[in-house]
């Protein structure tokens, strides 16, 4: 199985990580518009649905919440909608300064802390969070197994993980999805953003990403228990959920 993202077949994880960062810096100005258009507006619904899956944790005022690969902050915002007034801030972390600049502007008054950092080397002590999420960003990590291990490390015992990611459906729906994702999306995304190569990377990254059965196996190997996958929209996307064992 592929260890992680390789946007141009780079030989090292360091080169791959730098290339991914450059891609997201370059498309940041049109990122939100393209997300909404290419998902037909379903991305907003998916963020909210994923956040509501963790209402029990988010309802606790003192819950410590980290949203990695946060991009322009939309998943972070969805999490905040489930937080009580006066609750602890949600931390949004991303390695793209351009993405974070837009998150700070979009959610200027939000109870959020925006941090530039590497999801593969989180700048937090062991057991720092009760919930760690990622929406459509985890597949861009250069090593999926190590990314899961790092999330596990910073979660407190009983802490939850939530990864909302793309998937390649099978059967007839998968055939139609493949045509759209591999042929239409790169052209449309390239025309709007001016960077066709970046949107050529998108279907490649989804093709490399583990399917649900593989991903759940990796989560178990990382130590997560009670892991499950909830498929959204003909299984074209879905939420991976799990818990760090209680000691």
Per-domain residue ranges of the chain: 13-244
Question: Which one has a higher pLDDT value, 107 or 170?
Answer: 107
pLDDT at residue 172, as a whole number: 60
Please say whether the beta carbons of 210 and 218 come within 8 A.
yes
Q: What is the pLDDT of residues 45-99, one digit of tens each?
A: 999 999 999 999 999 999 999 999 999 999 999 999 999 999 999 999 999 999 9
Query: Residue 181 pLDDT > 70, yes or no?
Result: no
Please say whether the beta carbons of 159 and 243 come within 8 A.
yes
Q: Which residues are bridge partners to 243 per DSSP?
A: 160, 225
Average pLDDT on 215-219 reads 97
- List the single range of 2-11, 194-203, 204-213, 216-225 with lowest mean pLDDT: 194-203
Contacts of 225 (CB under 8 A, 6+ apart): 242, 243, 244, 245
Query: Residue 152 pLDDT > 80, yes or no?
Result: yes
Please say whether the beta carbons of 241 and 164 come within 8 A.
no
Dihedral sign for Cα atoms in the order 133, 137, 139, 141: negative
Q: Where residue 156 falls among pLDDT bands split at 50, 70, 90?
A: very high
Nearest Cα neighbor of 38 from 173, 187, 171, 172 is 187
The percentage of residues in the chain with a pLDDT greater than 90, rounded to a whole number, is 62
Q: Which fold has domain 13-244?
A: Rossmann fold (3.40.50)
pLDDT at residue 198, as a whole number: 67
pLDDT at residue 178, as a whole number: 65
């Amino acid at each position: 199985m592929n260890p992680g993202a390789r946007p141009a077949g780079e030989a090292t994880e360091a080169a791959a990580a730098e290339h991914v960062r450059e891609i997201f810096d370059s498309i940041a100005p049109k990122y939100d518009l393209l997300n909404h258009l290419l998902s037909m507006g379903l991305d907003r619904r998916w963020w909210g649905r994923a956040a509501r899956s963790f209402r029990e944790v988010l309802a606790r005022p003192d819950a410590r919440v980290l949203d990695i690969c946060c991009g322009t902050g939309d998943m972070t915002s969805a999490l905040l909608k489930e937080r009580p007034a006066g609750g602890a801030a949600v931390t949004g972390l991303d390695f793209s300064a351009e993405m974070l600049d837009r998150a700070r502007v979009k959610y200027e008054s939000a109870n959020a802390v925006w941090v530039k950092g590497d999801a593969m080397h989180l700048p937090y002590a062991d057991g720092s969070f009760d919930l760690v999420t990622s929406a459509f960003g985890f597949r861009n990590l250069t090593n999926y197994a190590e990314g899961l291990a790092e999330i596990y490390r910073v979660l407190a015992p009983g802490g939850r993980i939530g990864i909302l990611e793309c998937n390649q459906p099978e059967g007839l729906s998968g055939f139609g999805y493949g045509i759209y994702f591999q042929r239409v999306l790169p052209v449309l995304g390239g025309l709007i953003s001016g960077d066709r190569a970046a949107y050529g990377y998108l279907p490649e990254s989804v093709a490399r990403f583990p399917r649900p059965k593989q991903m759940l196996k990796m989560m178990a190997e990382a130590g997560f228990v009670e892991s499950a996958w909830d498929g959204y929209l003909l299984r074209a996307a879905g939420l991976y959920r799990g818990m760090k064992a209680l000691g």
